Amino acid sequence: MKNDLPVNIRRVRKEDVEKFVNTYKDSYRGLERYAYKSRRIVKGYFKWLFRRDPEGFMVAEIDEKAIGFVACDTNWLSVFELKKVGEIHEIFVLPEFRGMGVASKLLSSALCYARGRGRDLAELWVGETNELAMKFYEFKGFRLAGKVWKWVRMVKELK
């Protein structure tokens, strides 16, 4: 694992929409079952994420090239917890940068943001066959908390 990549994590700006769409489409290759298909819908998804919690929407870059994104929504009311949580709506990294600590940096930034906003629980959903992602989240302290349709719910206490 290479953790010495010169990765910069910053808040997303509205003008990052094309970077998001391109990175999203490339990152979901092989996981199309869980992805939005059209560029138009992915752009709409970007706008929805940005409206939900712009401060928790972050991009990982190397030399201004987007290599991954995370969207942490601290305004999310969990219907399972009946309280606001740090909902990780999205996290993805380009395939050629996986295993290099980028997802860890993005997730850490998102969880730190959620804690700073007073959230004591992080929640996310992962595709039921995305075992690599589930193992990653378990390694990061998330635990299985249920399943709905093709999605597995995972949670982590934020201390």
pLDDT of residue 4: 72
- List of residues 6+ apart from 103 with CB closer than 8 A: 68, 91, 93, 136
Strands 8-11 and 57-62: antiparallel
Tell whether 99 is covered by a domain: yes
Give the predicted TM-score (pTM) of the model. 0.96
DSSP string, 79-135: TTTTEEEEEEEEEEE-GGGTTTTHHHHHHHHHHHHHHHTT--EEEEEEETT-HHHHH
Tell whether 3 is covered by a domain: no
Tell whether 22 is covered by a domain: yes
Tell whether 17 is covered by a domain: yes
User: Under a CB-based contact definition with an 8 Å cutoff, are residues 137 and 113 in contact?
Assistant: no
Specify the number of domains making up the chain: 1
Collapsed DSSP state (helix, strand, coil) of residue 10: strand
- Taking the chain (159 residues) in consecutive chunks of 10 residues, what is each chunk's mean pLDDT? 79 98 97 96 98 98 97 98 98 97 97 98 97 97 97 97
Domain that holds residue 122: 8-157
pLDDT of residue 27: 97
Tell whether 2 is covered by a domain: no
CATH number where 68 lies: 3.40.630.30
Tell whether 137 is covered by a domain: yes
Tell whether 133 is covered by a domain: yes
